[in-house]
């Protein structure tokens, strides 16, 4: 079980959280100009690093706020 630091509530069990995938994926500024391939890339393609990964989490069973953190995908260590 990971302890995830909610910026509001502090460290809580992983089971209280919902995973939101990679952080910082910007919505295209003009989606109508995108090709199907570019749109599919935006929708479905995400980085899959071995190491530090910036991702979104929601404290579903607690304060229900979304936040970002950096997790090491090898060790599950959470930085920032």
Torsion of CA 3, 72, 6, 69, to 10 degrees: -170
How far apart are alpha carbons 32 and 60 in whole angstroms? 33
Assess 9 for contact with other proteins (CB under 8 A). yes
Assess 59 for contact with Zn ion (CB under 5 A). yes
Assess 2 for contact with other proteins (CB under 8 A). no
Task: Evaluate whether 20 touches 58 at the Cβ level (below 8 Å).
Answer: yes
Q: Mask: binding to Zn ion, 17-56, rule CB under 5 A, as x and -?
A: ----------------------------------------
Assess 61 for contact with other proteins (CB under 8 A). yes
């Amino acid at each position: 079980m990971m302890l995830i630091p909610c910026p509001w509530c502090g460290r809580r069990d992983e089971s209280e959280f919902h995973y939101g995938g990679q952080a910082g994926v910007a919505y295209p500024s003009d989606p109508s100009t995108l090709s199907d391939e570019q749109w599919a890339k935006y929708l479905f393609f995400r980085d899959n690093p071995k190491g530090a990964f910036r991702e979104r989490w929601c404290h579903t069973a607690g304060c229900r706020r979304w936040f970002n953190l950096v997790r090491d995908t090898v060790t599950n260590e959470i930085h920032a």
